[in-house]
Amino acid sequence: MRAMVLSAVGRPLELEERPDPDPGPGEIRLRVEACAVCRTDLHVVDGDLPNPKLPIIPGHEIVGTVEALGAGVTTLAIGARVGAPWLGHTCGVCPFCASDQENLCDNPVFTGYTRDGGFASHVVVDAAFAFPLSGFEDPVAAAPLMCAGLIGWRSLKMAGEGRRIGLYGFGAAAHILAQVCRWQGREVYAFTRKGDEAAQKLALSLGADWAGDSEQAPPELLDAAIIFAPVGALAPIALRAVRKGGRVVCGGIHMSDIPQFPYRWLWQERQLVSVANLTRRDAIEFLSVAPKAHVKTTTTIYPLEQANEALDDLRAGRLQGAAVLTY
């Protein structure tokens, strides 16, 4: 197999040739067709997330076909197309797993962070955390759904049933979620980096009712806002944009520090909450919704060997939609 490997935090990934991995009990080996590049991959590579397993193959928005079955796997067949996300395994016995909160598991395994991920031609994943993608004919289009789509869906559920939804940071997750919101009959307000006319144009083309800079006030108070950009300073800005009783959801795994702000911006039962990881139920729900909502992903394709370029383009904000590695 070929893999782009992170050997030390802050270093470029290096191409390596390795033997194809063998699946253990309850696992499957995938021949990777596509793997989207997520901001979380940047957080792993740049050291924002502590203690990755090193060396590590990043990547957790994986689409591939089943090539080998480990002992005991009966739910998937050779040749089936499946997706593998960030949450790669849970213990099943901690208080969180026992209370239907496996996204908060005390002993989780994360794809591309604590176990090797999809920036490779082959990957081994837990069969119980791989999701059939029957009907998803284009692996490149499907890859961003496996994290940008899933965490966006969980964030939207946490945001509640409000009509006016603000999306701060119009990247991979927001461009998918905007389509879901419009299908649900909600109004979408897209907030981008200052002067990012390309992102604003994309948002409007996907049905957003308004698009502007993140520091601008929306034309109407929002029922809820979701922050995908890893910028803590957006939290108080979003709180000022939501109505009384509104909710601001922080949808990223890492964010810069939230600056001090007056209590009156939080008062009147506004809420500031975070989303962590996802559950398998989230994945099943969203993969059912995406085709109904006619979600179309905007992608830029890079060959595996150009993973560093894809990460650089994401880091610099040069992408619209999602970067996807192909093999």
pLDDT single digits (tens) 175-217 = 999 999 999 999 999 999 999 999 999 999 999 999 999 999 9
CATH number of this structure's domain 149-274: 3.40.50.720
pLDDT single digits (tens) 228-279 = 999 999 999 999 999 999 999 999 999 999 999 999 999 999 999 999 999 9
Query: How long is the chain?
Result: 327
**How far apart are alpha carbons 111 and 104 in whole angstroms?**
15
**How far apart are alpha carbons 229 and 56 in whole angstroms?**
25
- Candidates 192, 167, 186; CA nearest to 251 is 167
CATH class of 2-146+297-326: alpha beta
**How far apart are alpha carbons 271 and 67 in whole angstroms?**
46
Assigned token pair, 229: 């950009």
- Full 3-state SS string of 45-113: HHCCCCCCCCCECCCCEEEEEEEEECCCCCCCCCCCEEEECCEEECCCCCHHHHCCCHHHCCCCEEECC
Long-range contacts of 300-308 (CB under 8 A, 24+ apart): 300/324, 301/140, 301/325, 301/326, 302/37, 302/326, 303/327, 304/2, 304/4, 304/15, 304/119, 304/120, 304/121, 305/4, 305/15, 307/4, 307/13, 307/37, 307/58, 307/119, 308/4, 308/12, 308/13
**How far apart are alpha carbons 102 and 143 in whole angstroms?**
23
Average pLDDT in the 60-86 region?
98
Average pLDDT in the 24-45 region?
98
**How far apart are alpha carbons 159 and 172 in whole angstroms?**
18
pLDDT single digits (tens) 124-145 = 999 999 999 999 999 999 999 9
- Candidates 78, 65, 68, 87; CA nearest to 139 is 65
Within the chain, strands assigned E span 2-5, 14-17, 27-37, 61-69, 81-84, 87-89, 109-110, 122-126, 131-132, 164-168, 187-192, 210-213, 222-227, 242-250, 271-274, 299-303, 322-326
Domain range list for the chain: 2-146+297-326, 149-274
Looking at residue 67, its pLDDT comes to 98
